[in-house]
Amino acid sequence: MRRAHTVEQVRAAEADLMAQLPDGTLMQRAANGLAVAISNFLGGTYGARVVLLIGSGDNGGDALYAGARLARRGAQVIAVLLSDHAHKEGLTALQTAGGRVGAPDDIPTADVVVDGIVGIGGRPGLRPEALAAVTLAADHHIPIVAVDIPSGVDVDSGETPETHVHAALTVTFGTHKICHLVDPAASACGPVHLVDIGLELPEAPVQSLQSHDVRALYPIPDTHSDKYSRGVLGLIAGSTQYPGAAVIATTGALAGPLGMLRYVGPDAVANAVLAVHPEVVVGEGRVQAWAVGSGLSSEALDRDLFDRVTQQQDVPVVVDAGGIAALNPAHTGYVVVTPHAGELSTLIDVPREEIEARRLHYARYVAEDRQFVVLLKGATTVVAAPDGSAYVNPIATPWLATAGSGDVLAGLLGSLLAGGVPEFEAAAVAAYLHAAAGQLAATDGPVTAMKVAAALPEVTRQLLA
């Protein structure tokens, strides 16, 4: 599991650890890890030209001590002081090691610029002198390594309301921060390298599943399993206008762990489903979960059936696409909704651009307000639970932005629910597998939704092997 903690949690853990260690130990641990990461980023240290952008906080101290280590290994290290309150001991260490204080004019000839401007206690945005230095580096295509976070992003929300650094690499300490996982800030971090400095931390409010976590959650049949015990999914999807959505959602569901799928819908659409998947059973019956909404239009919606399925409390329901806007505003609980930003915008009457800028905030807001699990689709998918916990999946390929891709996800998620995975975890596992299948299918370029669905069994086989 990749865990991301809040600033408050990190500060408390640092205070606890510093009380047990000699003064400066924690900063030296961070500086050593930072120096190694910068050296690896450069592919070597001797003769490299490193410019440090130094603010007034401890991140500036980390950068200065790291710079001293690099200078002792033969790098030319120059500190550009953006504050009158730079870390004194760190600056002395740098100068003693052969580094020097310079000016912004040194930036264009650097091999790398190190962002030690502000740390996790900083506010969004950059002061004019810092912005000028960062802009100069960008104009000359000098890569920036951020210390802990890219300066200027909002650490606890992943939002970027003001100007900020765009890093080629971020080196963080102790734990990931929320901005490392949640867009739009995550896109400004580049790859994130975690340096262990010995922090003892509580449960993280934001997490990202790794392969072993998905493997542990995936329902695997045993010798006593049958098609009913593996899970039966009811699918209400597709219409005469969008019959393909039912076929695609069915393909995604059958690539999951369920034992049987029941399709409920128009005869013409049912025939299209059966033509591709003759194992599907048409008609209502007992199920362990429902997936509804893919390819449904308001004209094609059977209101009585939809309300009966979505408002029951004995089985979980995935509500996708056209079904999201059709949900009864008063209905809460036992539902997983899978909107993209536009669909969430319609649901809560907030501009799409605002939702894209505050993805974690709005996913959590709807989850708490409606007592749903919310899977907000996007380049970085956010899964939010009513208690504020969140999973983030950052591995999707842009090729997944194709018609029908969400239908695959809805079917797969329904399959996982039918297999007994709890709603919050099922949504996170589905997002992970869907993104991994997209990556596999896109190996040779553009993909279709059916190619993504077809890649799911191989992705799952690799995961469980």
Residues in contact with 462: Cβ distance below 8 Å, sequence separation at least 6, in sequence order: none
Residue 120 is assigned to a ligand binding site: yes
To the question of whether residue 96 is assigned a binding role by annotation, the answer is no
- Residue 192 backbone dihedrals phi, psi, to 5 degrees: -115, 125
Report the C-alpha gap between 261 and 116 in whole angstroms. 55
Determine whether the annotation assigns residue 379 to a binding site: yes
Q: Is 314 annotated as a binding residue?
A: no
Q: Judge contact between 54 and 107, C-beta under 8 A.
A: no
Q: 420 among the known binding-site residues?
A: no
Q: Which strands make up the sheet holding 390-393, listed edge to edge? A: 176-177, 2-5, 206-208, 390-393, 381-384, 373-376, 335-338, 317-320, 289-292, 232-236, 260-263, 281-282
Determine the Cα–Cα distance for residues 376 and 427; give it in Å rounded to an integer: 10
Residue 223 assigned ligand-binding role: no
CA-to-CA distance for 233 and 146, rounded, in angstroms? 47
The encoded tokens of residue 193 equal: 């390298």
Does 245 carry a binding-site annotation? yes
Q: Is 121 among the annotated ligand-binding positions?
A: yes
- 61 is annotated as contributing to ligand binding: yes
Token pair recorded at residue 100: 């020097």
> Please, are residues 362 and 348 in contact by the beta-carbon 8 Å criterion?
yes
Per the annotation, does 151 bind a ligand? Answer: yes
**Is 307 annotated in some ligand binding site?**
no
Q: Is 406 annotated as belonging to a binding site?
A: yes
Cβ contacts of 128 within 8 Å, gap of 6 or more: none
Q: Is 378 annotated as a binding residue?
A: yes
Q: What are the residues whose beta carbons fall under 8 Å from the beta carbon of 6, sequence distance 6 or more?
A: 156, 177, 178, 205
> How would you write 69-115 as a 3-class SS string?
HHHHCCCEEEEEECCCCCCHHHHHHHHHCCCEECCHHHHHHCCEEEE
β-bridge partners, 292: 236, 319
| Binding-site residue positions | 58-62, 115, 119-125, 148, 151, 245, 295, 340, 377-381, 406-407
In the annotated binding site for K(+), the residues are 59, 115, 151
The annotated binding site for AMP is made up of: 377-381, 406
Residue numbers in the known binding site for (6S)-NADPHX are 58-62, 119-125, 148, 245, 295, 340, 407
